[in-house]
Amino acid sequence: MIKRWQIQDGRVQETQAETAPILLFVNPTDEEKRYLVDILKVDEHTLNSALDPDEVARLEFEPEHMAMILKVPRNYSGAEQFLFRISSMGIFLFKETLVIVRQEDVPLFGDKYFSKLSGIKDVVLKLIYRSIYHFNEHLKIINMISDSLESKINASMQNKYLINLFSLEKSLVYFLNAINANAWVIEKLKNSAPKAAFSPEHIEYLEDLIIENHQCYRQAEIYSNILASLMDARVSIVSNNLNVLMKTLNLITIGIMVPTLVVSAFSMNVSIPLQKHPSAFWIIMFMAALGVGVVLAVWRWKRW
């Protein structure tokens, strides 16, 4: 699927014009891939890399264009079971055309950040910033989910909450690798600014992107370290909750055994005391209740 965009009044707007300067290819068909490779001279390996979620981020300069593989977070789905995955985005900058290749159909230019644009190079830099912002938003969500799972673990013995935490920890490892790979791309793009014909304003913006990406990496690293360091403590909490439950069940069992013993003793088919007494039933019930009271008193005295 092809979507066409143009820059009008400093913003990116969708258009149907064949000569649109910004082309977005979403999960391109074989015919669209042939157009990119044969007509636009996009390297076929680089094109396939843009559609591979496991591809490493990189920056390359071809004779007629600049090719960039950028790592971006995928939109989260409930079926993922708290596992946040990473996707790739291909950005191919020609002299007058910008080609974007993605596997997912997600809104790209609806954010407030795509404003005051003067050319397609501004769009490239804004796409990088949007990727960093998207990572930050996912990190906030991961932190909120982690806090929610912690409170559930404190009052639960189920393993599913721990498994969810393991998924979050795994997601943060993916995020760290992706953000670090993007940092290398941004740094190389800044160093190659003359080759990419970037203006001093673009270089200054790239420096800001390096700082923003580094802060994003540090935040992901902090969340990852917190989850990793506290995972053993959370496992201990689940184990302790189980021990408390087992202790409570044992105490209840002991409390029930005492009156059962009393009643069983007076239920034998032999001569027993009180069998002729008119209030024998109530006396036995009193003794059973007294046994329960003694167990409860010992329970409180021992602070079990």
Confidence band (pLDDT; 50, 70, 90) for 157?
low
Query: 255: burial class by Cβ within 10 Å (0-12, 13-18, 19+)?
Result: middle
Rounded mean pLDDT, 26-55: 85
How do strand 98-102 and strand 22-26 relate by DSSP bridges? parallel
Q: Go through the domains of the chain in sequence order and give each one's CATH number.
A: 2-240 (3.30.460.20), 241-302 (no CATH)
- Min mean pLDDT across 66-70, 139-143, 226-230 is at 226-230
> Has residue 287 got a pLDDT over 70?
yes
pLDDT tens-digit readout, 96-131: 888 888 888 777 776 677 777 778 888 888 888 888
Query: Does 52 or 78 have the greater pLDDT score?
Result: 52
- Hey, what amino acid is at 185? V
Contact, 43 vs 67, CB < 8 A?
yes
CA–CA distance, 147 with 164 (Å, rounded to integer)? 12
Return the pLDDT at 215. 93
Return the pLDDT at 77. 66
pLDDT tens-digit readout, 160-210: 777 787 888 888 888 999 999 999 999 988 888 888 888 888 888 899 999
Q: Name the β-bridge partners of 5.
A: 14, 22
CA–CA distance, 199 with 164 (Å, rounded to integer)? 46
> Has residue 275 got a pLDDT over 70?
no
Query: Does 140 or 280 have the greater pLDDT score?
Result: 140
CB 131: neighbour CB atoms within 10 A?
23
pTM for the complete prediction?
Answer: 0.74
Q: Average pLDDT, whole number, for the chain?
A: 81
Return the pLDDT at 237. 67
Return the pLDDT at 232. 67
CA torsion sign for 178, 179, 182, 188 is negative
Return the pLDDT at 155. 64
pLDDT tens-digit readout, 212-266: 999 999 999 888 888 877 766 666 666 776 777 787 777 778 777 777 777 776 6
CA–CA distance, 270 with 199 (Å, rounded to integer)? 106
Confidence band (pLDDT; 50, 70, 90) for 293?
confident
